[in-house]
């Protein structure tokens, strides 16, 4: 048994689905079901006795203590987090509460549980904390990619809150001996991603004939990681990673945002042509967001060298699978892009035109 937090969100849900397919080991899935947590992401596991869903907050110590005592998990995988930079700019308090205070309460509950385990189970136990490359700050065009030794230089309320949570995890290992593992990943994409992020937003807007908003000049660079590759990497780190260590997980796919949007438009032109013309006609440049980091890039050589993991998907294969999934799952998109989502899009992009 493992306990997954945040397992109804984008990456967490993909991980739970992949975990059950790859291992068959049962999962307790704890998720608060905020706007980005969606039980429809877990629909394929409905009725599966290996999947136990619990609605709740990682900051609810009484609930977490009860789940740990009842299910006796051998590992915790912590995906629970507020994760969108734009939302953190509009409302940083939620990010501090979940990513910092919530992680602290979770660590304390897990420390109490782990401390009482028999020695053999205690030695085998792991707490895996899932984080982001954004904690490292921004790179210039000719800077080397982020290695695990790169100093933290977070530039947004989101990345600062994740950096704080990473520091807490490290401290609980150094001070208390809790056997932790930390992963810092690059930009994920794939099925079930909430359409506030670039790739699903562009797909949804293009299909609806709406503007495709590009911040600034569109040349901000990110490394792109297909979500199932990320899930496989986390399983490998959980299996063989050294306690106390950090592993960067990247896709070896550095691309400017504008190139991403043109790639999606070309795929939609091929797979779902629009009688009004090429989808790229909808590209619209808007005012940049405050403090927009110019470039992220992950050096993922350590996880390859020490644990033998490399991504299976290229960006070309992964983005084609992603676009096809959204085309085939328009009902899911319709359900998540509700009134609250439309209100958010209007708030975030309305004053950028």
Of 134, 196, 229, 293, the active-site residue reads: 134
| Cβ atoms of 183 and 232 closer than 8 Å | no
230-269 in b/e form (b: 16+ CB < 10 A) is bbbbbbbbbeebeeeebbbbbbbbbbebbebbbbbbebbe
Helix/strand/coil percent split, the chain, to 5 = 50, 15, 35
Residues whose CB falls within 8 Å of the CB of residue 119, separated by 6 or more in sequence, listed in order: none
Alpha-carbon distance of 180 to 88, in angstroms, equals 27
Strands of 126-132's sheet in order across: 51-55, 27-31, 2-5, 75-78, 126-132, 180-185, 246-249
Sign, CA dihedral 302-137-170-253, equals: negative
Of 136, 158, 215, 326, the active-site residue reads: 158
Alpha-carbon distance of 347 to 1, in angstroms, equals 42
Pick the closest to residue 79 from 145, 165, 151 (CA basis).
165
Catalytic, 158? Answer yes
Alpha-carbon distance of 257 to 294, in angstroms, equals 10
Residues whose CB falls within 8 Å of the CB of residue 75, separated by 6 or more in sequence, listed in order: 2, 3, 125, 126, 127, 128, 238
Pick the closest to residue 58 from 8, 115, 11 (CA basis).
8
Pick the closest to residue 247 from 156, 181, 315, 330 (CA basis).
181
Q: 152, exposed or middle or buried, with CB in 10 Å at 0-12, 13-18, 19+? A: middle
Number of other CB atoms surrounding residue 112 within 10 Å:
14
Catalytic, 134? Answer yes
Alpha-carbon distance of 124 to 102, in angstroms, equals 24
Of 57, 86, 133, 293, the active-site residue reads: 133
Task: List active site positions.
Answer: 133-134, 158
């Amino acid at each position: 048994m493992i306990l997954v937090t945040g397992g109804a969100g984008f990456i967490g849900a993909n991980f739970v689905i992949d975990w059950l397919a790859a291992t068959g080991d049962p999962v307790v899935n704890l998720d608060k079901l905020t706007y980005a947590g969606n039980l429809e992401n877990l629909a394929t596991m409905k009725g599966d006795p290996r999947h136990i869903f619990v609605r709740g907050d990682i900051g609810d110590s009484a609930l977490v203590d009860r789940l740990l005592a009842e299910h006796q998990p051998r590992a915790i995988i912590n995906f629970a987090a507020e994760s969108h930079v734009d939302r953190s700019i509009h409302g940083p308090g939620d990010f501090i509460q979940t990513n910092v205070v919530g992680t602290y309460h979770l660590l304390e509950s897990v420390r109490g549980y782990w401390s009482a385990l028999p020695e053999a189970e205690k030695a085998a136990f792991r707490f895996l904390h899932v984080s982001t490359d954004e904690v490292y700050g921004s790179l210039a065009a000719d800077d080397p990619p982020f290695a695990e030794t790169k100093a933290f230089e977070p530039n947004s309320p989101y990345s600062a809150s994740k950096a704080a949570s990473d520091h807490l995890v490290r401290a609980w290992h150094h001070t208390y001996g809790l056997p932790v593992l930390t992963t810092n990943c690059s930009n994920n994409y794939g099925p079930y991603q909430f359409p506030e992020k670039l790739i699903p937003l562009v797909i949804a807007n293009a299909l609806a004939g709406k503007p495709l908003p590009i911040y600034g000049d569109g040349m901000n660079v990110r490394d792109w990681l297909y979500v199932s590759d990320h899930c496989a990497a986390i399983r490998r780190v959980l299996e063989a990673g050294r306690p106390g260590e950090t592993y960067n997980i990247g896709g070896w796919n550095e691309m400017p945002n504008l190139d991403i949007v043109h790639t999606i438009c070309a795929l939609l032109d091929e797979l779902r042509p629009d009688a009004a013309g090429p989808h790229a006609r909808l590209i619209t440049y808007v005012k940049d967001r405050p403090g927009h980091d110019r470039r992220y890039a992950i050096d993922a050589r350590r996880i390859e060298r020490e644990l033998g993991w490399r991504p299976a998907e290229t960006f070309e294969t992964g983005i084609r699978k992603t676009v096809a999934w959204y085309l085939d799952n328009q009902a899911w998109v319709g359900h998540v892009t509700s009134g609250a989502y439309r209100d958010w899009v209007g708030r975030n992009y309305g004053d950028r035109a």
